[in-house]
Structure 1
Amino acid sequence: MFEILSSPDAWVALLTLTFLEIVLGIDNIIFISLIANKLPKKDQAKATNLGLLLAMVQRIILLFAVSLLIGLKNPFFYIETSWMYLGVSGQALILFFGGIFLLYKSTSEIHEKIEMPDHDENQIKSKGITSFSKALVQIVLIDFIFSIDSILTAVGMTNGIGNKPGDALLLMIIAVVISIIIMMVFANPIRIFISKHPSMQILTLAFLILIGFMLIMEAAHLSHAKFFNQEIGAIPKGYLYFAIAFSLFVEFLNIRMKKNKPVPQDNKSK
């Protein structure tokens, strides 16, 4: 069963897949941090770790059902008018509604944090354990949306590796397990850092708005959408990750400057 691990090509594919899962998991960590930080402090780490464990189980199940996921790429309904063309598929619908959900969730969170600063504390006091269950449901649902693209990409990368049908599946499962373990190591420190800095909370919500928009555009691209004979092209994810990395770098510099800024002394004579 593990003979495939004796092949150098398999190790290269495994390292590449693991790195890919970690990079694509950035979106997931941001969303999990947002949801977990709305819970009581005693439940935040538990929700983060349990959410990632459920995400790992869900991704492994999806890998076994990969033929079903590939079938979701095929359009089952077409919309064609004088100014619009769409080939609607299951994958496109999942990405579209996932993008809409992220836009709604992020926008409402920004509104609550700015207009109703005490909203999170009041919600925790009024809902208690229900908030924990609701948080896990949201984490699992959004991970399902993020998993579709990453799993289909992994299937394409492992195509033709190994002599047995299960070799590629084994590599993908190992990559998922390793990447989730690595994310569990860093997820809670990231969540704590975000919770300590209000500006980072707004920045992560802005990232989720950007990710939601990207999901909608990707859904349009997968549907071969055309509006007024202009086809919606793919937006390279590298642009998204560069924008996130650059914004974080600037914010880290801003936080560092505030820490190093000397506290003004009161020179007023007594």
Structure 2
Amino acid sequence: MDSLIAAFTDPTAIAALIALVVMEVVLGIDNLVFISILTNKLPEAQRPRARRIGIGLALGMRLVLLSMIAWLVGLTQTVIDLGISGPLDQHGAPTFETALSWRDLILIAGGLFLIWKATKEIHHNVDPAGGDDVLDSKSVVTMSFGSAIVQIILLDMIFSLDSILTAVGMTDNLAVMVIAVIVAVTVMMIAADPLANFIARNPTVVMLALGFLLMIGAVLIADGFGVHVPKGYIYAAMAFSTLVEVLNIFARKAKARKGG
């Protein structure tokens, strides 16, 4: 209770809460883009329910991980060391390393899975007749609800781990972390349907979102090997690309009105 009161009365805790809410919302965008693309492969009547379940699972996993912070910190202990590391940077730390913890292994596996999924989806968008697959645009109605949920769970696990480790690194106030996670997931819940509908209406946005997923997958793998890419650079690039795509959408609509 004391930590909860501090979250709303202590200026330091309030500042940490605001910063953490912003960070958690930004991290949640990655999760939401994947959920939106995947659920758009389901029959239209099932999509809202799948999104709600997926985001609900994301919240549940984050809260479970918060309740297991001591165990979570233990995931950063080295379990495999291949004895390979890069040259030292200006801070005396290796530019990359192969002393891998469970956290690193999970991030690498998640990054590989994300790259595979995005690559398959890009392939079927570029060449829809290239063969049958659960992600094939011709097989929307054959993709099962259960299959979509299982795939969402796998990525929720990866994004939840990244989200909570970020929270632990920013504050040690559990109440602040819980509030920030709940606010961020609430924003995800509100934005889920509009984002998914926007992606479905604009095919070029799908390709842009898939490009984001490829980049996020590569960053997860790099992070697993100790190459820490500043997230500000990643999200600045995503924001710029999104702005260019929005301008393209406006330009196409203006051209269509003139042509009509």
* TM-score where L is the length of structure 2: 0.87
- Residues 85/150 of structure 1: CA separation in 2 closer, same or farther (3 Å cut): closer
Q: 3-state DSSP class of the match of 1:39?
A: coil
CA distance in 2, matches of 1:178, 1:18: 7
Alpha carbons 2:84, 2:98 under 8 Å: kept:
no
Question: Quick one: which of 154, 157, 181 aligns to 1:144?
Answer: 157
Which of 3, 6, 14 pairs up with 2:5? 3
Residue of structure 2 equivalent to 1:257? 251
Q: Report how far residue 66 of structure 1 moved.
A: 1.3
Q: Is the 8 A contact 2:62 2:160 kept in 1?
A: yes
Deviation at 1:82, TM superposition (A): 10
**Aligned counterpart, 1:69:** 72
Residues in 1 aligned to 2:146 and 2:195: alpha-carbon distance in whole angstroms: 22
Query: Which of the numbers 203, 207, 215 marks the counterpart of 1:202?
Result: 207
Is 2:222 the partner of 1:220?
Answer: no
Is residue 172 from structure 1 mapped to residue 174 from structure 2 by the alignment? no
After superposition, the Cα gap between the structure-2 partners of 1:81 and 1:246, relative to the gap in structure 1 and judged at 3 Å, is: closer
Give me the whole-angstrom Cα distance separating, in 2, the residues matched to 1:27 and 1:93.
Answer: 19
One-letter identity of the residue aligned with 1:255: I
Q: 2:42–2:141: 8 Å Cα contact kept in structure 1?
A: no
1:247 paired to 2:241? yes
Report if aligned partners of 2:85, 2:98 keep a CA contact under 8 Å in 1.
Answer: no
- Give the aligned CA root-mean-square deviation in angstroms: 2.1
Partner of 2:115: 103
CA change 1:90–1:263 in 2 (3 A) is same
Distance change (3 Å), C-alpha of 1:256 and 1:72: same
Q: Which residue of 2 aligns with 1:123?
A: 139
Kept in 1: contact 2:110–2:220 (CA 8 A): yes
Q: Take 1:20 and 1:85, find their aligned partners in 2: how far apart are those partners?
A: 26
Cα-to-partner distance string for 1:17-39 (whole Å, 9 max, x where unaligned): 11111011111111011111001
Structure 1 position 8, deviation (Å): 2.5
Structure-2 change in CA distance of 1:264 and 1:55 (3 Å): closer
Give structure 1 regions of 4+ aligned residues with deviation exceeding 3 angstroms: 81-85, 117-122, 124-127, 262-265
Q: Which residue of 2 aligns with 1:230?
A: none
- What is the alpha-carbon distance in structure 2 between the residues aligned to residue 62 and residue 251 of structure 1? 36
User: Structure 1 unaligned runs (5+)?
Assistant: 160-167, 222-232, 266-270
Greater C-alpha radius of gyration: 1
State the alpha-carbon separation in 1 of the partners of residues 39 and 259 from structure 2: 36
**Same amino acid, percent of matched pairs:** 42
Q: State the TM-score, normalized to the length of structure 1.
A: 0.84
Which one-letter code corresponds to 1:51 in the other structure? G
Aligned to 1:191, which of 189, 196, 199? Answer: 196
Partner of 1:229: none
Question: Which moves more between the two structures, 77-86 or 135-144?
Answer: 77-86
**Cα distance in 2 between the residues matched to 1:180 and 1:216:** 25
Cα distance in structure 2, aligned partners of 1:19 and 1:76: 33
Residues 232-263 of structure 1, C-alpha deviations (whole Å, 9 max, x = no match): x4211111111111111111101100111144
Per-residue CA deviation, residues 97-152 of structure 1 (Å, 9 max, x unaligned), is 1010011000001111221169646424334xxx2111112112212111222211
Counterpart in the other structure of 1:38: 41
